[in-house]
Structure 1
Amino acid sequence: MKFMLLVLIWNSLGEKDVVGEAPAPTSWGNGIDSAGDYAEERKQSLDIEASWRFGSTQNLTENDRLLNKTYTEKKVALLNDGYYNETRFRPSALFLTNSYSNPPSDDVYKILRRLPKGALLHSHFTATQDIATYPQLLLSLENCQICEKGDNYQLRYFNDGVETLDSDYTCRECPTPLDSNYTNELVNLRAHLTMYDGNDYNSKSVQMIWNHFESKFGPTRSAKHTWHVWKAMLNSSLAMMVEDNIQYVEYRTGYGDLTDRNGTKVPYEQVLKYMQSQIDDYRKRFPNFYGVNLILTKSRVNLTNDKLKSDLQSANKYYKESELVRGFDLVGYEETGRTLKSLLPVFFQFRNETKSDMPFVFHAGETLWTGFNVDQNVLDAVLLGTKRIGHGYSLDAHPYVLELVRKQGVGIELNPISNQVLALVDDIRNHRNKRVMDVTHKPGLLTENPFKFSVNSDDCLIFGSKPMTDDMYMMVMAMTAKDSDLRVVKRMAYDSIETSLLTTTEKKKVAAIFEKEWDRVVQVLIEELRH
């Protein structure tokens, strides 16, 4: 009987009533009482959301708009393809599965690779190298030896008798390209330097992955303090910056005296002078490159108050003596290292006694935890006056801290590939900083100032990425809306310059270099697209 009643009701309905446009209700309860009003309200809502997103206020030139048409079409086509064929959407897979030897070949990546990128603000010097050429460079340097003891693998470059190793170490000379074992040694070295070591990082915990990650600094732990090796590392890294069309860099780096191959001390003041000479040389040779400055770092792991006090004093000494030194940071695994809160007495004492204006640029919030001292590092970083926050992955769990970040103009350093490889996010579309980017221009509680971001690679050697291109690609493809365009790329460059530790005059110079290079590359790309 019930079934017959349903059939009668169904038959009494017209086709339009069933599958066509639904009759407008008398009222939705929010003042919308017609299909036209609904469509208008829906459009306005989407427009407001779009106006809040990162990049929405950036202006484009006429040439920019010409290139932007092609760029946007290519990007939307890629995203549509990924939507229906998700296995082909690269940002959803672990970056390590997309081998460094097989970078994206699509037009969006090619355009991003060639465009100038502004400033690289979060990159650790000893891991800012090219995975394709750096192992060969290390093997080619004078006095190179490979020394092993169990799982401990190190490169050494001292003359005989300068440094005595544990008798359990077995050492051998590094091979040349003419030696039969060269290829095997090269593959072995690359596995020790990078995450391309045969491990399945999809199946490991954050702590285990961090242990593997930190072991990648081991092979050059002694070598990076050897003068001729350090000089080769610097020149190799600077060449990467130019190749990736980066205008300015702030390396995070340890500091202290080096040693030459004979065991003679090389004072850090001499190291800084040499670095400045190389920067000056690169400026002359490459007009689109402004230079490099340093953020001096010490590890927060096993850090004592007395050690931090000494570290701050020595960093401040170099800050006062050299224009290259621009700030100070604590690095290392946050979940096992000292929190900023636990170190407050030392920071207070340092500021009160020295009256130093040396900026802090803290790593903070590189964690999945919420409500712990580790994620609250973001609050203490802001209260201590940090100029930028490295990673800031836990920022979205602290909405009032975000308001302070906005008010104080604190830059947020995005590191999407690093965050994925180190297991904070499996699919970059789920990156938590994406939600902050989506409300960049939403009026805040304390100010209407927008959030400011930079995109960075963190440790490109270890991850097998470019210094900026790969992270920029992941950001635009997975952390912005489908219809976002070149305004995001251009705004990211300007934000990176604005949140750098450069002076106002220096920022204007870098911005001018960026704009000239941007206009040049855009013109070249437009002409190529016409043919």
Structure 2
Amino acid sequence: MKPPSSQGLRLTCLLLALASLCLPIPLWKDRDSLMQEEKAQETGGNLVLSRQEQQLNTKLVSLKKMEIATAMTTGQFPPSMHFFRAKRLIDQSKVFNIIKLMPKGTVRFRFSKPHPPHPVPAQCSQWVLLESYRKQLHNVSEFDRSLVRNLTLVTDAPEQAYPSQTFIWKRFEEVFLIASGLICYAPVFKAYFYQGLLEFYEDNVQYVEIRAILPTVYELDGTQHNKSWSVAIYQEVTRQFVKEHPDFLGAKIIFTAHRMLNVSQIKEAIVTAMALRAQFPDTLAGFDLVGDEDEGHSLWDLKDALTIPYSLGVNLPYFFHAGETDWQGTSVDNNVLDALLLNASRIGHGLALIKHPVAKNLSLKRDIPVEVCPISNQVLLLVADLRSHPAAALMAEGHPVVISPDDPPIFGAKGVSYDFYEVFMGIGGMNADLRTLKQLALSSIKYSAMLPDEKAKTKEVWQKKWDQFVADLSDSFLREL
């Protein structure tokens, strides 16, 4: 074989040199800066931690990595499991117990004396006094457990018990109906709300906003109270609770109507909401629609009712459930955009938002947060593995989000710590750290319906609690060393 000439070698080298000029050069030199830029955009990425917070963050992240490493070995990672199965593991988590310390509800029942005057629901037997019924039973404990099962969705086999979204939504709304006969008895109504405030307070929550459909509340003699009475009771119980717990800053109510109602019924609800807000400006925060979005009316369907406040020059803040769906391209899927066009203060759930870049950019531009409800989304079969939750994309780019527990008693949870855990461990990914938790807590104050002076006071109280939380945990970790 004839060896290549020197001219041939020079030509080959020239061709190789020219080829290298045409190929894209790996941009390794930009890798660190790009990763830092990405990290800075994440929820909490721009927060600067104090030295003590940094030390605590190092320990917290270490615990988080240990739990994730264990999960990789055992194959049991709580955010990827159904909450009803994961709750036991979460309760044992050191990370969860730190988050708990962090400052941040078919059978029918009726109270009556004498016999209930109303006809029994269809396909039900006659009213039976519960005390008498229990005396006839051989296994009272099992009966008591069955009562709890009727008042929650908790089950050991959720996939078998709730095979579809339609099925579990029907069961979900049925639970509210079952509980209503108990909760809507006036003395229980007051005690139930007080207990709810207490559970949030014990979970280190300083302020809450509760969506309430304001059903008719009754007395033992059959007397019925209207919605104005109910809001007055919410206000009275809140003031009593704040008096007994001075570091709790209060509660507001978001009046809700079911989205299955027709336009004329929603118009009536809007008029009621405006009147209640005028009567209780410090207690009634605004209005929302609740219920299965896929089955109910879209915001566009109800636009004639929902634009009434604007046409009358009345300020009625909206906090719409919007985009709580897996379907794309439906009228319901467009609720995320319509909620923004109706000037919603927050978007409840907002799972569909990442599928609508224009709506997402508008939400970001107008600083409208998404209320992320991870456990609810999982239980209602919208997201199986919370690592795949759409909020992961929102948090990665620093989109404003707040964490909401939705309906914790029905899911067998208390407070909001379980949802914070799912966000911190699963949705936020490996990069979520103390700054993430701190930003989420701060956002809950920033995007609340409180007035500016109320927000300032709440932030001041929260900051003192946060500093104490950091100091206590830092001391605790030092003692372990």
Q: 2:70 aligns with which of 68, 81, 97?
A: 81
TM value normalised by structure 1:
0.81
- The equivalent of 1:422 in structure 2 is 380
Q: CA deviation at 1:222?
A: 2.6
Matched, 1:156 2:110: yes
Percent identity over the alignment is 28
Q: Which residue of 2 aligns with 1:8?
A: none
Return the alpha-carbon distance in structure 1 between the equivalents of residues 471 and 237 of structure 2. 31
8 A Cα contact 2:259 2:297, kept in partner = yes
Superposed CA offset, 1:282-317 (max 9, x none): 22332331111000000001x111111111101111
Residue aligning to 1:116: 103
Q: Show CA shifts across 1:490-517 (max 9, x none).
A: 1001111111111111111111111111
Q: What residue identity is the alignment partner of 1:284?
A: K
Residue 377 of structure 1 is matched in structure 2 by 335
Contact 1:288 1:517 (C-alpha < 8 Å) held by counterparts:
no
1:232–1:452 distance in 2 versus 1, CA, 3 Å: same
Q: Who is 1:360 aligned against?
A: 318
Q: What does residue 105 of structure 1 align with?
A: 92
Instruction: Please tell me whether residue 290 in structure 1 is matched to residue 249 in structure 2.
Output: yes
The one-letter code matched in structure 2 to 1:427 is D
Tell me which residue corresponds to 1:312.
270
Partner of 2:8: none
Cα 1:355–1:281 shift into 2, 3 Å: same
Could you tell me how far apart the structure 2 residues matched to 1:514 and 1:26 are? 59
Deviation at 1:206, TM superposition (A): 1.5
Q: Distance in 2 between matches of 1:43 and 1:380?
A: 40
Which residue of 462, 470, 476 corresponds with 1:522?
A: 470
Residue 223 (structure 2) aligns with? 264
Q: Contact (CA 8 Å) 1:250, 1:293: kept in 2 or not?
A: yes
1:30 corresponds to which residue?
24
What does the per-residue CA deviation read over 1:373-417, in whole Å, with 9 as the maximum and x for residues that have no partner? 111000100000000000000001000100110111111000011
Structure 1 position 58 matched with structure 2 position 47: yes
1:360, distance to aligned residue in structure 2 (A): 0.6
Note the C-alpha offset of 1:198: 5.5
Distance 2:234 2:416 in 1: 22
8 Å contact kept, 2:288–2:318: yes
Residues 309, 315 of structure 2: 8 Å contact kept: no
Number of the residue aligned with 2:444:
496
Letter in 1 for 2:77: F
Whether contact under 8 Å (1:329, 1:363) holds in the other structure is yes
Q: Which structure 2 residues correspond to residues 455-494 of structure 1 after superposition, within 5 A?
A: 455-494=403-442
| Cα distance in 1 between the residues matched to 2:456 and 2:418 | 27
Alignment partners' CA distance in 2, 1:219 and 1:477: 34
Equivalent-residue separation in structure 2 for 1:197 and 1:84 (angstroms): 26
The match for 1:413 is 371
**Aligned-pair distance for 1:94?**
0.7
Contact 1:175 1:185 in 2 (8 A): no
User: Which of the residues 177, 182, 192 maps onto 1:223?
Assistant: 182
Match of 2:6 in 1: none
Q: What TM-score do you get using the length of structure 2 for normalisation?
A: 0.89
Q: Which sits farther off after the overlay, 320-329 or 342-351?
A: 342-351
Which residue of the partner structure matches residue 252 of structure 1?
Answer: 211
Aligned to 2:358: 400
Closer/same/farther in 2, CA of residues 349 and 239 from structure 1, 3 Å limit: closer
Cα distance in 2 for partners of 1:175, 1:61 equals: 59
Q: Please give the alpha-carbon distance, in whole angstroms, between the structure 2 residues aligned to 1:510 and 1:73.
A: 31
- Give the whole-Å Cα distance in 1 for the aligned partners of 2:72 and 2:235: 48
* Maintained 8 Å contact 2:78/2:89: no
The residue aligned with 1:138 is none
Q: Which runs of 5+ in 2 are unaligned?
A: 1-18
Tell me, in whole angstroms, the C-alpha distance in 1 between the residues paired with 2:382 and 2:151: 21
Per the alignment, residue 285 of structure 2 pairs with 326
- Does the aligned pair in 2 maintain the 1:162–1:262 contact within 8 Å? no
User: How far does residue 218 in structure 1 lie from its aligned partner after superposition?
Assistant: 2.3
For 1:317, the aligned partner's letter is A
- Asked if structure 1 preserves the Cα contact closer than 8 Å seen for 2:309 and 2:316, the reply is no
Larger helix percent: 2
State the match for 1:390 in structure 2.
Answer: 348
Name the CA shift for 1:48/1:189 in 2 (closer, same or farther; >3 Å): same
- Deviation at 1:339? 0.4
Q: Secondary structure at the match of 1:154?
A: coil
Question: Which 4+ residue blocks in structure 1 deviate beyond 6 angstroms?
Answer: none
Kept after mapping to 2: 8 A contact 1:259/1:266:
yes
Distance 1:300 1:270 in 2: 23
What is the one-letter code of the residue matched to 1:171?
W
Q: Which residue of 2 aligns with 1:214?
A: 173
User: Could you tell me how far 1:181 is from its partner in structure 2?
Assistant: 4.5
* Letter of the structure 1 residue corresponding to residue 322 of structure 2: A
Secondary structure (helix, strand or coil) at the match of 2:91 reads: coil
CA deviation vs aligned residue, 1:31-68 (integer Å, no higher than 9, x gap): 44xxxxx4432222222211121110122223222211
Amino acid at match of 2:213: G
Cα deviation code 1:174-216 (max 9, x no counterpart): 359x977542222101111111245533671221221222221
State the SS of the aligned residue for 1:327.
strand
1:198-249 deviations in whole A, cap 9, x for unaligned? 5533671221221222221121223332211211211111110111110110
Decide whether aligned partners of structure 1 residues 524 and 28 sit closer, same or farther in structure 2, where only a CA change above 3 A counts. Answer: farther
Task: Please list the CA deviations of residues 231-277 of structure 1 after superposition, one character each: whole Å capped at 9, or x if unmatched.
Answer: 12111111101111101100000125522111123344343333323
Q: Is the 8 A contact 2:425 2:432 kept in 1?
A: no
Do structure 1's residue 169 and structure 2's residue 125 form an aligned pair? yes
| 1:341 alignment partner, SS class | coil
Instruction: Output the CA distance in 2 between the equivalents of 1:238 and 1:169.
Output: 36
Q: Distance in 2 between matches of 1:434 and 1:230?
A: 37
* Structure 2 counterpart SS, 1:326: strand
Q: CA–CA distance in 1 between the matches of 2:91 and 2:21?
A: 50
1:175-194 correspondence to structure 2 within 5 Å: 175=131, 181-194=139-152
Contact 1:175 1:182 in 2 (8 A): no
Question: Where does residue 69 of structure 1 map in the other structure?
Answer: 58
Structure 1 residue 169, shift from structure 2 partner: 2.1
Amino acid at match of 1:91: P
Cα deviation for residue 81 of structure 1 reads 2.6
Match of 2:12 in 1: none
Q: Distance in 1 between matches of 2:229 and 2:388?
A: 45
| Range with greater deviation from structure 2 (342-351 or 329-338) | 342-351
Task: State the SS of the aligned residue for 1:342.
Answer: coil
Alignment correspondent of 1:147: none
Query: CA–CA distance in 1 between the matches of 2:179 and 2:354?
Result: 36
Instruction: Report the counterpart of residue 145 of structure 1 in structure 2.
Output: none
Instruction: Measure, in 1, the Cα distance between the counterparts of 2:94 and 2:298.
Output: 43
Q: Is the CA contact 2:247–2:461 (under 8 Å) kept in the aligned structure 1?
A: yes
